[in-house]
Amino acid sequence: MPVSARTPSGPNRPRSVAARTKEATRSGPHELDPYDFAVPAELVAQEPAPERDLARLLVLDRAGNGVLTHSRVRDLRQWLRPGDLLVVNETRVLRARLRGRKATGGAASALLLGPAQKEDCFRALLRCRGRLRVGQRFAFGPPGEEIPAELVGLDLEGEVVLSFPRGVSPFEMGEAPLPPYIRRNAPRGADLERYQSVFARVPGSVAAPTASLHLSERLLGELAAAGVERAELVLHVGPGTFRPLRPRDLTSGRLDAEHFELPESTAHAIARARTRGGRIIAVGTTATRVLESCAAADRRVSAGGGA
């Protein structure tokens, strides 16, 4: 989702990258606190741009003197050259958000994470008032179409296991799992379409690779006609995207594993682009993480997968 380009003034003004880097060096290179900054709520857009590629784009000229240019995603063509290669994440976001109620009537919501080992059971993050306990019962779904669920397991990491009636797929009745800073009193049909990239193909994410959301079919067609190629990989965004790093240290903090796959065709496309002098442009941090995971010390990228 786009963020407003207005910059706050006074005490809420974000510190520069240089200032935060300097503070991080003083505090210790592995501590997270110096990198924290406040984002005023009024700067977070609650609705996407009318068209995907109207989202704002900040361009840094790394080859020159570091000039920053404010642009739009639909103008991306002017920043790319024939022979460049876009690497995109084809993951598809699951309908993972469930709204419902406890048997006692209190509101409850669940973020489905995937099937559990036991049949008809699903891992989830569950939010409701009161202490969670095995045996609690819930009903999820729109009024009049609710399906029952029972909490049959929970762990110290905050995950639970929910049991649903035999043969029921809760993902079929779920909503788009919008991030918590996007406020919705009720689901909107457009959310399922806009919180998904136009090239999403492989189901498996509980959150969108957000940089991809701003690429439109029209823009991708223009880039292809201009000689900019595209290659695909998959990284399924997991629940770790919603969790803080614990402990708050870059060397000891635990990150959740995420499944990824980089096919041979993409590895070959990267090698061809580099041979002819093209640049490799990873669309977003998920694509970047996969490329980093599959790159060797000599900078060659090989096909691979894992978690």
Residue type, 254: R
pLDDT recorded at residue 90: 98
Q: What is the pTM of this model?
A: 0.84
pLDDT recorded at residue 26: 53
What are the CA-CA distances from residue 50 to residues 55, 166, 216, 287 (Å)? 9, 41, 12, 26
Q: How far apart are CA 185 and CA 196, in angstroms?
A: 20
Split at pLDDT 50, 70, 90, the class of 22 is low
In three-state form (DSSP H/G/I as H, E/B as E, the rest C), the secondary structure along 202-229 is EEEECCCCHHHHHCCHHHHHHHHHCCCE
pLDDT in tens, 65-111: 889 999 999 999 999 999 999 999 999 999 999 999 999 999 999 99
Domains defined for the chain, CATH in brackets: 27-92+196-306 (3.40.1780.10), 97-173 (2.40.10)
pLDDT recorded at residue 189: 78
% residues pLDDT > 90 (the chain): 68
Split at pLDDT 50, 70, 90, the class of 29 is low
Peptide bond into 34 cis (omega under 30): no
Backbone φ and ψ of 290, nearest 5°: -65, -45
